Structure 1
C-alpha cells in the first residue's frame, strides 16, 4: 500500500510523515498476519492521510475521520484530534480512568484505528463494500477491532482498551443502549458522536465474548458467522449467537 498525503495547504502533511511511516511499517506486519492466518487476499491501493475536516466533509460524509473503501483507506493522523474525539464520546461524564487512558495511549490508538480499517478487507466478511449493509454490521465492526487489538497491539493494550470501553458501555448504556445491537447500521451514523461510538464499544465487547466462548478461536466464531450467512440469515445474528449486550 502506498501513502498519499492530501491536505489543503502545501507542507501541512509534512508534520505527519514520520508518524505515517511508522504506522505503515506496523500495518505491513499486520497485513502479513492477516494473509497467513485469515486468508486476506486483496488490500487497498493506498492510505490517504488527510485532515479531520477533509476526511469528514470532502472525501466522505461521516462524523469519524477514518474509514475504508474498496481501494482506499482514509485516515486522519492527528493524535490531538483523535484525543478530542475520545473525550467527546464520554458525553460529559466524569471518568478519570477513561480520560487518563486516552491522554496517554498515543500512537497505539492510531494503529488500532488504521488496522481496524484494513481488517474490513477480509474475505471472511461476505458483504461487499458497495452492498447496503443493514444487518449484523456489529459483527464485522467488532471483529475488525478484536483482531488487531488481540494480535497486533499486545496484551497490555488489549486489556486496557477493553476495560476502558467496558466502562464507557456501562456508564452510557441507559442513554444509548435501548435499541438492539442488530440495529447498528447506516442510520446509526445520524446520531451524536457518543451514540455512534456506543455501538462500536458494544460490538467489540460482544465479539470478545464470542471468541472467549470458543476458547480464544476467532476462526470458530467466523465459521458460525458464515454458517448463519449461508443459511440465509433467517435469525437476527445476536439471536443466532445467543448473545445479549
Structure 2
C-alpha cells in the first residue's frame, strides 16, 4: 500500500512523516495476519494521511478523522487531536481514570485505529463498500475493533480497553438508551461524539461476548453471520445470534 501525505503545507507533512512511516511498517505484520486467517485478498491502494480538518470536511463529513473507502484509508496521525477528541467523549462525566487514559492515548492505540480501518477490507464481511449498508454495521464495526486489539495488544492492554468501553456503555446508557444495535447506520453519525461512539463501544462489547460464548472461535461467529446473510436476513442479526445460542 502507498502512504500518501495529504497536508496543506510541506512543513505539516514533514512533522508527521516519521510516525506515519512507523505505522505503515507496523501494519505489514497485521496485514499478513489478516491475509492468512481472515481472507484479506484485496488491499486498498493506500493510506491517505491528512489532518483532522481535511479528513472531516474535505474528504468526508464524518466527524471522526479515520475512515475507509474501497480504494483508500483516510486517517489523521495527529496524536494530540485524537487525545482531545477522545477526552471530549466523556462530556461532563466524572471518570478520572478514563479521562487520564485518553489524555495519554498512545501511538500504540492510534495504530489500532489504523488496523481497524484495514480490517474493513477483509472478504469475510458480506457488504461491499458501495452497498447501502444496513442491518449488520454493528457486527462489522465491532469485529474491526476486536481483531486488531486481540492480535496487536497485550492481554492486559486488551482487558483495559475493554473495561474502559464497558464502563462508558454503563455510564452513557441513560443518555442514549439501549436501542437495538441493528439500528446502527448513517443516522448514528449525526449526534455528539459520545452518542456516535456509544454504538461503537456497544458493538465491540457485543462482538467480544459472542466470540467468548463460542470459546474464542472467531470463525464460528463469522460462519453464523454468513449463514444469516445467505438466508436472506429474515430476522435482525442480533436476534439470529441469540437464537443460535439456544
The alignment's TM-score, normalised by the length of structure 1, stands at 0.97
CA contact (8 A) 2:82 2:105 kept: no
**CA shift at 1:178, angstroms?**
3.6
Which residue does 1:138 correspond to in 2?
138
Whether 1:26 and 2:29 are equivalent positions in the alignment is: no
Query: Separation in 2 of the partners of 1:234 and 1:101?
Result: 41
Which sections of structure 1, spanning at least 5 residues, go unmatched?
none
Which residue does 2:93 correspond to in 1?
93
Which residue does 1:222 correspond to in 2?
222
Post-superposition CA distance 1:106-155 (Å, at most 9, x none): 10121110000000001000100000112110000000000000012222
Which residue does 1:35 correspond to in 2?
35
Whether 1:16 and 2:16 are equivalent positions in the alignment is: yes
**CA shift at 1:94, angstroms?**
1.1
Which sections of structure 2, spanning at least 5 residues, go unmatched?
none
**CA shift at 1:36, angstroms?**
0.4
Which residue does 2:192 correspond to in 1?
192
Query: Separation in 1 of the partners of 2:181 and 2:22?
Result: 35
Q: SS of 1:182's equivalent?
A: helix
Which residue does 1:62 correspond to in 2?
62
Query: Separation in 1 of the partners of 2:35 and 2:10?
Result: 36
Whether 1:207 and 2:207 are equivalent positions in the alignment is: yes
Which residue does 1:80 correspond to in 2?
80
Which residue does 1:179 correspond to in 2?
179
Deviation beyond 4 Å, 4+ runs, structure 1: none
**CA shift at 1:102, angstroms?**
1.5
Post-superposition CA distance 1:32-55 (Å, at most 9, x none): 000001111011111000000000
Query: Separation in 1 of the partners of 2:198 and 2:37?
Result: 29
**CA shift at 1:181, angstroms?**
1.0
Q: RMSD in angstroms over aligned alpha carbons?
A: 1.1
Whether 1:111 and 2:108 are equivalent positions in the alignment is: no
Query: Separation in 2 of the partners of 1:189 and 1:55?
Result: 15
Query: Separation in 2 of the partners of 1:23 and 1:87?
Result: 23
**CA shift at 1:192, angstroms?**
1.2
Aligned length: 243
Q: SS of 1:43's equivalent?
A: coil
**CA shift at 1:71, angstroms?**
0.7
Q: SS of 1:228's equivalent?
A: helix
